[in-house]
Amino acid sequence: MFKYILSLAILFLGLQTNGQSKKAYQIFKSNGKKTSYKKLLKTAKKADMVFFGEEHDNPVGHWLELELTKDLYQTAGKPLILGAEMMETDNQIALNRYLNKEIDYKTLKKEARLWPNFKTDYKPLVDFAQKHQLPFIATNIPRRYASKVFHGGFKAIDTLPQTDKQWIAPLPIKYDKNLSQYKKMLGMMGGHGGNNLPKAQAVKDATMAYNILKHYKKGNLFIHYNGSYHSNFKQGIIWYIKQQNPNLKIVTIDVETQDNLKKLDPKHKGKADFIIVVPKNFPKSY
């Protein structure tokens, strides 16, 4: 917790060294050229959907998620719908009760499977939705079903009862094993995940895409918060969305860490429309 408070202090107050202020982040365009928060906001306002791809333990990213949401609420000129990977579909009822002020946070914590960093990193977003009466959609598949796919492939969820399938995107799950992000996953975990690791990722992506489209309304702006791997290169969730509605205007954001902020590391180019770079030595939120 001390590191988290320290990181926020650096962010908001600035770190002074020899009379010079060190930046907490720098934004780049997809091609690596520097840009500004003002331009990011201007572009996001024109979108149908904005995907904020975060590093889960990055406090600068979490702060900017909230700030961007606030600014879009004030300036986009259209209703907002919020949604997040961090909330699972079968927790929507509890989440709605919290949004409607029928239960307090303590009860929400008992009724929903909240991430360990929910209070510091995601509760501010949910509370913003509560304050302004905005929908907040629990988009992700319950982890127990993703785990089934990881251990047994898509066939492991084919025979689930309909009461369970209601929390998952309609079956069968369309799957393109040649998407670069899924191909990269094959080499993760030392190969121990086998072919099912990207399939488990795909069932998450498909379910999040399904729930985003289910709740999106034309003329609204849907802001979705997710780990960057789910939206980088406009694959993952966005690939599934484009299968259903290729005409949606989608803006993507990615958060990365580097040793310095002067130039975007070439390996990050193309990951998103806007890439937010934070110093590698910046304290983590957990």
The DSSP secondary-structure symbol of 161 reads -
Q: Is the pLDDT of residue 45 over 50?
A: yes
Poorest-pLDDT segment among 62-76, 91-105, 187-201: 187-201
Map residue 212 onto helix, strand or coil. Answer: helix
Residue 176: helix, strand or coil by DSSP? coil
| Mean pLDDT in residue range 202-210 | 98
pLDDT at 190: 57
Which range has the worst mean pLDDT, 47-51, 87-91, 121-125, 258-262?
Answer: 258-262
Distance of CA 221 to the CA centre of its chain: 15
pLDDT band at 189 (very low <50, low <70, confident <90, very high): low
Residue 5 in this model has a pLDDT that exceeds 50: no
Distance of CA 21 to the CA centre of its chain: 30
**pLDDT > 90? residue 7:** no
> How sure is the predictor about 23, in pLDDT bands with cuts at 50, 70 and 90?
confident
Q: Angle at Cα 116 formed by Cα 257 and Cα 26, nearest 5°?
A: 20
Percent of the chain clearing pLDDT 70 (strictly above)? 91
Lowest mean pLDDT among 75-79, 190-194, 248-252, 253-257: 190-194
Architecture of the domain defined by 25-278: 3-Layer(aba) Sandwich (3.40)
User: Which residue is it, tokens 């929390």?
Assistant: 167
Q: Which region among 25-34, 46-55, 96-105, 178-187 has the lowest average model confidence (pLDDT)?
A: 178-187
Which residues on adjacent β-strands are paired with residue 35?
Answer: 27
With beta carbons less than 8 A apart as the criterion, state whether 200 and 150 touch. Answer: yes
pLDDT digits (tens, 9 = 90+) for 138-176: 999 999 999 999 999 999 999 999 999 999 999 999 999
* pLDDT tens per residue, range 115-134: 999 999 999 999 999 999 99
With a pLDDT cut of 90, the percent of the chain lying above it is 86
CA dihedral over 50, 229, 282, 257, signed as positive or negative: negative
What is the overall mean pLDDT for the chain? 92
Domain spans of the chain, in order of start? 25-278
| pLDDT score, position 22 | 78
pLDDT at position 14 is 47
pTM of this prediction exceeds 0.85? yes
- Cα–Cα dist 142/93, whole Å: 14
